[in-house]
């Protein structure tokens, strides 16, 4: 698939088939993340890959977050759905150096976000659907513990990855977005 076409047409999809990236495909996904823009070359992130056999542990963490944050029954039920939705989940942790005199914490978080997006694109380019999940789920104490978070770290999200459910092609937007209203030009 043409790179510009993918960049202009990609979209998230929450429907997955049963196939997860293999070892080589996962390595490609992680290598793409390691090339994200990174002021100070800090690599302020860590990735936690959860394969199908690890989904019960993820479910426990998400269920604990539902209790911890007093989520309603509808949101609490999502713990089961999220932990069974895709054959692979990648947790992304921003490993923030709050004492860095050169790179502020917000910039380190942006770098981890860029790494996450690079992983989405690398997965899409290899024929996998992706969706990036955040909200309160990623702030739960049990999930943070499972991911090895330190006090100042920030879980950026959960990247769900799997084969397309409907056919062999990933879901793409039919049209590109209009740039109108998003750009100012200073001459």
The pTM of the full predicted model, rounded to 2 decimals, is: 0.93
Note the pLDDT tens digit of each residue in 141-160. 999 999 999 999 999 999 99
Q: Is residue 1 over pLDDT 80?
A: no
Q: How far apart are alpha carbons 85 and 104 in whole angstroms? A: 35
104 CB-contact burial (10 Å; exposed 0-12 / middle 13-18 / buried 19+): middle
Q: Who has greater pLDDT, 26 or 138?
A: 26
Question: Got the DSSP string for 115-140?
Answer: HHHHHHHHHHHTT-EEEEE-GGGGG-
Q: Which residue has the tokens 């426990």?
A: 60
Closest CA to 156 of 109, 103, 117: 109
Band the pLDDT of 68: cuts 50, 70, 90: very high
Most confident of 1-5, 6-10, 106-110: 106-110
Residue 5 has what pLDDT? 85
Give domain 3-162's CATH number out of 3.40.109.10, 3.30.930.10, 3.40.190.10, 3.40.50.1220.
Answer: 3.40.109.10
Q: Are strands 88-94 and 154-162 parallel, antiparallel or unpaired?
A: antiparallel
Helix, strand or coil for residue 172? Answer: strand
């Amino acid at each position: 698939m043409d790179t510009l076409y993918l960049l202009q047409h990609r979209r998230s999809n929450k429907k997955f088939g049963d196939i997860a990236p293999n070892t080589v495909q996962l390595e490609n996904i992680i290598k793409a993340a390691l090339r994200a823009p990174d002021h100070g070359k800090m690599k302020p992130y860590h990735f936690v890959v959860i394969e199908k056999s690890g989904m019960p542990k993820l479910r426990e963490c998400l269920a604990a977050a539902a209790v911890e944050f007093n989520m309603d029954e509808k949101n609490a039920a999502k713990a089961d759905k999220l932990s069974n939705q895709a054959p692979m989940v990648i947790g992304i942790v921003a490993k923030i150096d709050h004492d860095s005199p050169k790179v502020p914490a917000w910039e380190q978080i942006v770098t981890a976000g860029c790494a996450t997006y690079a992983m989405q694109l690398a997965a899409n380019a290899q024929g996998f659907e992706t969706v990036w999940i955040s909200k309160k789920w990623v702030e739960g104490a049990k999930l943070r513990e499972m991911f090895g978070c330190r006090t100042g770290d920030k879980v950026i999200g959960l990247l769900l990855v799997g084969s397309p459910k409907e056919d062999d092609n990933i879901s793409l937007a039919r049209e590109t977005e209009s740039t109108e209203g998003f750009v100012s030009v200073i001459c």
